[in-house]
């Protein structure tokens, strides 16, 4: 799909839970943006023999930005089938051509909302809606690097609200604002502000409670899943150049009461964030975990929209029912942002995570990259999600490259590996590729 990969926030959001964002200079004025992309796309049918179909794609977009407190963008890709390897599919499309899977449930109509932002990042209240590609709730013990539009047949708009109420920070998240899907919340208390009136104690000792529940009733029906966690974070070192945090958490399933299965876990780790140079930001996280049964940390992760149908592979148990042997695991994460600021310099935003389970040898990994190449004319975006590489491997990948030929004209190339949830609960896979051209302007 043209423009299918949206990496608006590739840098992992968990470090934002540890520090207050410095006040940024206010932007003034209203900007209008408009764009139209057209091209061709090869996409598997997702059913039957899963053969490749050909589509003509038109993707109009319109956006408005009002300073640094308000922004929205509307638009949706219209995929019209002109080559069908399964003739019966043509009869099912709207008007015989418009791809039905893109508009066959209420949630799909929310894809028209590409992005909505109200409130500054350092304000008391912030609202975000639209696509979420690497979203983490708090430190990410339950919802970690979640991607709500990874499925090619499901296009919801999610919503996120953050509010600061005295020493308390409340965050609410919905993966789909039009259907009963994943809902999550975190309440975080700044113990330093409660127990002390000294500035040096503020934002250093954080206690958080997270809860998440997936009703599983949109984008395909899957078993419901509930989990909860409690966590503590302590800032050992905190200055302009370096931050060192210790953190610990305990979590459990909130919807299973099987005494013989230990559906709970505990974790302890360290987070380091440094700025060796003014325009370079690096974050690293290491964590040791003990988990098992039907619970694991980062339940709602990057590939969850596929894992809820098949936890690993293509036709295994859903993640909600997957039984993990009691085991230790090691989790690591790294994020980097390099923004020299000049058009002739490389601008890079990247993050990666991985987890290794000791007793089973299972390896999960996830990486996201956005690079503005020197010269300012080429942008490349990549997302790779790897699940259980050792036994039942599954991987998803999406690549998009844009190159601006003229001030208002650019070309784009897309490629990737897609998965299609089926009515009977398993997944089909296939490859996709696209080529197009776009025009845009702003004033």
Give residue 263's pLDDT: 84
Q: What is the pLDDT of residue 376?
A: 83
| Domain locations along the chain | 34-442
Q: How confident is the model at residue 14 (pLDDT cuts 50, 70, 90)?
A: very low
**DSSP codes joined into one string, 130-159:** E--SSB-STTSSSB-SB-TT-STT----EE
Does position 286 have pLDDT exceeding 70, yes or no? Answer: yes
Q: How far apart are CA 239 and CA 168, in angstroms?
A: 22
Question: For strand 52-66 and strand 280-293, is the pairing parallel, antiparallel, or unpaired?
Answer: unpaired
State the Cα–Cα distance between residues 177 and 104, nearest whole angstrom: 16
Q: What pLDDT is recorded for position 326?
A: 86
The pTM score is 0.90
Burial of 14 (0-12, 13-18, 19+ CB in 10 A): buried
CA angle 46, 52, 57 (to 5 degrees): 90
Tens-digit pLDDT profile for residues 192-245 = 999 888 888 889 999 999 999 999 999 999 999 999 999 999 999 988 889 999
Give the confidence band of 342 by pLDDT, cuts at 50, 70, 90.
confident
Pair 129, 159: CB distance under 8 Å: yes
CB neighbours of residue 341 within 10 Å: 8
Chain centre distance of CA 205: 27
pLDDT score, position 200: 82
| Cβ–Cβ under 8 Å, residues 216 and 308 | yes
């Amino acid at each position: 799909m043209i423009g299918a990969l949206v990496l608006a926030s590739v840098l992992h959001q968990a470090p934002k839970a540890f520090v207050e964002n410095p006040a940024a200079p206010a932007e003034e004025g209203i900007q209008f943006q408009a764009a139209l992309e057209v091209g061709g796309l090869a996409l598997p049918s997702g059913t039957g023999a899963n053969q490749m179909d050909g589509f003509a794609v038109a993707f109009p977009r319109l956006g408005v930005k009002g300073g640094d407190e308000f922004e929205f963008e509307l638009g949706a890709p219209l995929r019209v089938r002109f080559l069908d390897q399964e003739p019966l599919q043509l009869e099912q499309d709207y008007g015989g051509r418009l791809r039905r899977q893109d508009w066959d449930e209420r949630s799909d109509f929310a894809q028209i909302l590409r992005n909505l932002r109200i409130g500054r990042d350092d304000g008391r209240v912030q609202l975000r809606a639209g696509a979420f590609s690497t979203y983490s709730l708090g430190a990410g013990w339950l919802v970690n690097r979640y991607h709500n539009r990874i499925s090619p047949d499901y296009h919801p708009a999610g919503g996120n609200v953050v509010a600061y109420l005295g020493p308390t920070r409340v965050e609410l998240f919905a993966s789909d604002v039009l259907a009963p899907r994943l809902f999550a919340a975190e309440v975080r208390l700044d113990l330093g502000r409660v127990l002390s009136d000294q500035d040096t104690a503020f934002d250093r000792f954080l206690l958080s409670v997270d809860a998440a529940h997936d009703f599983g009733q949109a984008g395909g029906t899957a078993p419901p899943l509930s989990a909860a966690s409690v966590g503590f974070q302590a800032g050992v070192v905190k200055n302009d150049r370096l931050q060192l945090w210790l953190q610990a958490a305990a979590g459990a399933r909130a919807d299973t009461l099987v005494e013989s299965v230990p559906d709970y876990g505990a974790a302890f780790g360290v987070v380091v964030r440094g700025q060796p140079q003014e325009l370079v930001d690096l974050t690293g996280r290491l964590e040791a975990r003990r988990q098992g049964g039907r619970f694991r940390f980062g339940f709602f992760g990057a590939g969850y929209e596929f894992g809820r149908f098949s936890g690993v592979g293509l036709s295994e148990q859903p993640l909600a029912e997957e039984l993990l042997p009691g085991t230790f695991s090691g989790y690591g994460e790294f994020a980097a942002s390099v923004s020299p600021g000049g058009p002739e310099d490389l601008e890079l935003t990247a993050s990666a995570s991985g987890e290794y389970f000791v007793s089973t040898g299972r390896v999960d990994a996830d990486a996201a990259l956005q690079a503005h190449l020197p010269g300012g004319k080429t942008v490349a975006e990549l997302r790779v999600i790897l699940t259980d590489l050792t036994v039942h491997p599954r991987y998803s990948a999406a690549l998009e490259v844009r190159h601006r030929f003229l001030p208002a004209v650019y070309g784009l190339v897309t490629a990737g590996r897609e998965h299609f949830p089926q009515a009977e609960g398993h997944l089909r896979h296939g490859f996709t590729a696209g080529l197009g051209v776009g025009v845009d302007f702003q004033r």
